[in-house]
Amino acid sequence: MVSMINPPSLAEYNPQPGDFFSDREIIEIPLLLSKSHFQMLEKLSQEKGCTFAETFRQLLVKASRAADSSYQDIIF
């Protein structure tokens, strides 16, 4: 896992050209949300029985698919 909060130096990480992050690599990023957005995602996570991070990733995938297919409804 690579942390974007305290990212490693390039000497420590040693990425190869063209593959800075692989699809299987986990990247840690800070996320600023309003209290209401946090509570909405937390409630959705509990309803789906998954973690907050899993819920957020699923929403990103749905949003990406919606953008790719011009489908506007990204309801989880």
pLDDT tens, 9-59?
Answer: 655 666 556 555 566 677 778 889 999 999 999 999 999 999 998 999 888
Residues 26 and 1 in one domain: yes
Number of folded domains that form the chain: 2
Residue pointed to by tokens 């989880």: 76
Mean pLDDT within 58-73: 75
Q: What are phi and psi of 2, to 5 degrees?
A: -110, 130
Residues 48 and 73 in one domain: yes
Residues 22 and 44 in one domain: no
pLDDT of residue 27: 75
Is 42 in contact with 52 (CB distance < 8 Å)? yes
Where in the sequence is the domain holding 12, given as residue range(s)? 1-30
Return the number of other C-beta atoms located less than 10 Å from residue 9's C-beta.
7
The region that residue 34 occupies, defined by phi over 0 for left and psi between -120 and 50 for alpha, beta otherwise, is beta
pLDDT of residue 61: 86
Residues 19 and 52 in one domain: no
Model's pTM, two decimal places? 0.55
